[in-house]
Structure 1
Amino acid sequence: MRLRPSTAVRLICLTFIVLLFHCCYISCQRSDGALTVVDNPEVNGLDTEDGSEATIEEEDIKEDLEVVHPTDQWQTLKPGQAVPSGSHVRLNLQTGQREVRLGEEHLKYWTQQHSENEDKQPFINPDELKKAMKKIKEDLNINKDSNQKESVSSQFRPLDELKKDMAQLDLLVETDVQILRRLLNQFNSTHVTEDKLNILHELEYMVHQVDNAQNLCSMGGLVFILEGLNSSDSRLQESSAFVLGSALSSNPTVQVKAVESGALQTLLTLLATTEHFPVQKKVLFAVGSLLRNFPFAQQHFLSNGGLQVLSEVFRGDGNGSLRTRIVTLLHDLISVKEQISKTSVDSVDPSHEERARQYSRVSLDKELVETNWCSLVPQLLDSSEHDYREKALQTLIVMAPMCLQQYRTDRSLMTSLTRLKTLYEEIVNKEKTVENSQTEYFEEIVELIDNLKIKIR
């Protein structure tokens, strides 16, 4: 069979390539000029020309082998020489000699100018760096503090300069006692109503503090306040009653001195005679402050016809505001007395026993029935205000033990309770259909009505 010329050329080239690889294989066998690889701790593989990794077994390595130190340039290997692991080895087909240079990793290191001969960068100790950063931060804080001090000092004057200026102006810092004494002296020396009203306004602000109220009494301030209550000017009456009520609130010392000075009789007289609504409101505030938690004053109140005076004010009140204040006061007096009497049985505290003994002398229940309060309080249920109705229901419940017989025979009371229960149940049901509506308040009123009905049965 005859081959075409092109086919013959191809066979000749293929035969040449096979012979060439065979020669290379023979030359790489172990001989006196064999190539030996020594371990390099930095690189684990041996790179070939095409970038693949070649593995060379270490057999019978001689201890006196000459190790070549490759560079970034190709250099010829002599027979018997060894190369470090990771070096790049090739066979030069033109010369038939083996050549070696640095591996890819080492070569990259050299191309980035990290050779042994280049100038090394200065080493920075981490501890020294931390100290330097800390010093910079401290310097910044010092500068910041100094700037803040300078800004503050520019805004405020030194204390010594202020003292000198105050001394030149003859300014004095007054204590509360000195202020009270000065105000009382001014009140006693002036005859101008506006000045007295301003003084009473300042006194009312100060006597909310317990010590100031007691100091006011010890200075004779109650005398000036009672004079204001007896004044013909309704504005002085109102302001004086306001100061007295604020001084009496939760202050037993002032309460005792007020009763001893006749303040209760003055208040009841003014309440019974005045028709000025602001005065009546402030006098009721002062009476309530004097009577609460003070059974001795309650005894004097009852003996001086206090309930009768309150009943007259209750009947004369058209809008219900004064009625609500009176009913709330009665509720508090009855509730506290009932609470003290219940806890006195198991109490071993001598002071509590003394309070219970004093309250036992207060015939509040009997006086309430005799002054017809069992019929007066239900009238507040006719009000259109929810708050007024709530206060009336609360007071009717605490008065139920003393007014039970009258409640049962009072048809108008039962009719009002039935009507109000229906009204508030409808309000509750309607509010429940509205999203985020609050029905607790109206539900509490329905509960008060049910409790009162249970007591009346």
Structure 2
Amino acid sequence: MSHCIGLLSIAAKFSLLVFLLSAVFLCSSLSDRNPEFALTKTEESDLKEENGKESVTEDDADAEDLEVFYPTNWWQTVHPVPGPFHQAGRKCLDGDKLLFKSIFILGQAIPAGLHVRLNLQTGEKEAKLPDSTNEKSDMKDQKKRKRLDKVDIDSNSFTSQELKEALAKLKENEKTKSTMEANLEDVRKRFRPIEELKAEFERLNMRIETDYEIMVKLINKFNSSDSMLDEKIAALYDLEYYVHQVDNAKDFLSLGGLQLMINALNSTEAVMKEHAAFVLGAALSSNPKVQIEAIEGGALQKLLVILATEQPLAVKKKALFALSSMLRHFPYAQQQFLKLGGLQVLRNLFKEKGMEALYVRVVTLLYDLIMEKMLLEGAQNNEDQMEEKVQQYSQVKLVPAVVEQGWCAIVSNLLALPEHDTREKVLKTVSVLMAFCKDRYRGDQHLNITLSMLRSEYEELAAEEQREGDKDGYFKELLGSINTIIQELR
């Protein structure tokens, strides 16, 4: 078989050589003919006839030149021409150049891209379309090239500065992205997931107790005979926190806790009386309903007993706190306080040793009670004021009792104390009592000397304040109060 293929190849080469020699000889013989038989370049306009129809050229008339192979997915034979070769020659003169065109076909015209093989059994040439996998691969490559063409950037359309700015923005975006990721990670570390929080809140809600329920437990703990003293004190300490609220104090009253505190004032344990008075004072503060129940329950008498008898300073301090909470804004309690000799009880505190811490508290209480009545009387024509309350205050003879029991001198003597805060409160009380104690103050030589010394001291302090830039300072205000009292005593 290979021997036959070799012979065919030698025959084809020989035929080609004969064809070329014949063509050269033909051209040489044609060149000797007259010029009208020579092949010349034909213009498009020369190919048309007079009636407008186009003439047929030699190439168009040759059917074998136009025979085309139509491929399929199966192998097909590529048909050869009838003879060893087909030739046509044409000699054209284009200017000084000799154009020679020779066309020969050894078989059908095969489109590019086909698969071609030589069938060794039949000796025929065969061709077919490429495989579908290759077509798909070619289509993928073509799509890929199109995508690349779309994103292709013409570097000549951007300046170097624009490219630098684009690169800087890219780096900045990367930096921002990394920063955001770091922040997100930090948030994840610092905060728990919402699902975990919801679960924990659900667990907490199951264990939440109302203030009412807590007070019930604390009262039961305090009233239980099985509780130790320290446990009862701890219960009282917690109760004081809750009864500060008005609604809790009313619940405390309905639970019987107020009467328990009043009874605890009779305890033989000083610490028990101290914390019971503390809880009582917190519940009475600005709560009229509890104030009424407390005075009807005998709290006023028991508080005065504690203040009048020998008790530790801590116990008397809490009892005075409870007494002040009961008397403020409660004219009926103030009237009962005067009837029970409350002013005399407070006056005796100034005679006891070690009670200096209570002096300012007592003076402050008197000042508040006097000012409370004065303010109400000054606004008695106001439609918003209750007529009944005005009548109740009119029955409270507090100032006459203060003057009669010698409180004018007791208050003025406190100006000798060194604390500026104490002096301030005493000066306010002296100013309030000035209308009732003026004659006594004018004849008090010790008071006049004290006022002169205080004026000199506060003049220096006020001047120092002014040098520091504080024109309306604390010491200037105290100096003004002293000057007012001195002016009224002249």
Normalising by the residue count of structure 1, what TM-score does the alignment of the two structures yield?
0.63
| Residue number among 304, 312, 320 corresponding to 1:268 in the alignment | 304
Residue 363 of structure 1 is matched in structure 2 by 397
1:131-210 maps to which residues of 2 (within 5 A)? 158=196, 172-189=207-224, 190-210=226-246
- SS of residue in 2 equivalent to 1:231: coil
Residue 418 of structure 2 is matched in structure 1 by 384
Distance 1:259 1:163 in 2: 44
Paired residues, what number? 322
Question: Residue deviations 1:221-250, cap 9 Å, x none?
Answer: 012212222111111111111111111112
Distance 2:447 2:190 in 1: 72
User: Aligned letter for 1:194?
Assistant: D
Identical aligned residues as a percent:
40
Tell me: CA distance 1:154–1:409, structure 2 relative to 1, closer, same or farther (3 Å).
closer
Distance 2:468 2:191 in 1: 58
Q: CA RMSD in A?
A: 3.4
Q: Which runs of 5+ in 1 are unaligned?
A: 1-117, 124-132
Q: Contact between 1:369 and 1:403, CA under 8 Å: does it hold in 2?
A: yes
Distance 1:295 1:448 in 2: 29
Distance 1:342 1:153 in 2: 59
Superposed displacement of residue 418, structure 1: 1.6
Residue 441 of structure 1 is matched in structure 2 by 474
Distance 1:433 1:152 in 2: 51
Residue 439 of structure 2 is matched in structure 1 by 405
1:414-453 maps to which residues of 2 (within 5 A)? 414-429=448-463, 431-432=464-465, 435=468, 440-453=473-486
Q: Which runs of 5+ in 2 are unaligned?
A: 1-151, 158-169
Superposed displacement of residue 307, structure 1: 0.3
Superposed displacement of residue 407, structure 1: 1.7
Q: Contact between 2:280 and 2:322, CA under 8 Å: does it hold in 1?
A: yes
Tell me: CA distance 1:122–1:207, structure 2 relative to 1, closer, same or farther (3 Å).
farther
Question: Residue deviations 1:122-141, cap 9 Å, x none?
Answer: 99xxxxxxxxx9xx99xx9x
User: Aligned letter for 2:486?
Assistant: K
Distance 1:165 1:172 in 2: 7
Superposed displacement of residue 427, structure 1: 3.0
Tell me: CA distance 1:398–1:156, structure 2 relative to 1, closer, same or farther (3 Å).
same
User: Aligned letter for 2:219?
Assistant: L
Tell me: CA distance 1:354–1:152, structure 2 relative to 1, closer, same or farther (3 Å).
same
Question: Residue deviations 1:329-383, cap 9 Å, x none?
Answer: 11111111111111113x123x433222111110101111222111211110121
Q: Contact between 2:465 and 2:473, CA under 8 Å: does it hold in 1?
A: no
User: Aligned letter for 2:292?
Assistant: V
Superposed displacement of residue 187, structure 1: 0.9
Q: Contact between 2:239 and 2:279, CA under 8 Å: does it hold in 1?
A: yes
Residue 248 (1) aligns with residue 284 (2):
yes
User: Aligned letter for 1:195?
Assistant: E
Distance 2:188 2:428 in 1: 65
Greater Rg, structure 1 or structure 2?
2
User: Aligned letter for 2:433?
Assistant: M
User: Aligned letter for 1:406?
Assistant: R
Tell me: CA distance 1:158–1:419, structure 2 relative to 1, closer, same or farther (3 Å).
closer
- SS of residue in 1 equivalent to 2:268: coil
Question: Residue deviations 1:179-214, cap 9 Å, x none?
Answer: 111111111114411001100111011111111111
Q: Contact between 1:207 and 1:213, CA under 8 Å: does it hold in 2?
A: yes
User: Aligned letter for 2:284?
Assistant: L
Tell me: CA distance 1:318–1:193, structure 2 relative to 1, closer, same or farther (3 Å).
closer
Superposed displacement of residue 409, structure 1: 2.1
- SS of residue in 1 equivalent to 2:386: helix
Distance 2:200 2:372 in 1: 55
Residue 226 of structure 1 is matched in structure 2 by 262
Tell me: CA distance 1:352–1:143, structure 2 relative to 1, closer, same or farther (3 Å).
same
Normalising by the residue count of structure 2, what TM-score does the alignment of the two structures yield?
0.59
Distance 1:160 1:258 in 2: 45
Residue 141 of structure 2 is matched in structure 1 by none
- SS of residue in 2 equivalent to 1:246: helix
Q: Contact between 2:249 and 2:290, CA under 8 Å: does it hold in 1?
A: yes
- SS of residue in 2 equivalent to 1:348: coil
Tell me: CA distance 1:160–1:275, structure 2 relative to 1, closer, same or farther (3 Å).
closer
Q: Contact between 1:314 and 1:326, CA under 8 Å: does it hold in 2?
A: no
User: Aligned letter for 1:192?
Assistant: M
1:1-12 maps to which residues of 2 (within 5 A)? none
- SS of residue in 2 equivalent to 1:274: coil
User: Aligned letter for 2:484?
Assistant: N
Superposed displacement of residue 428, structure 1: 2.8
Residue 278 (1) aligns with residue 311 (2):
no
Tell me: CA distance 1:435–1:166, structure 2 relative to 1, closer, same or farther (3 Å).
closer
Residue 87 of structure 2 is matched in structure 1 by none
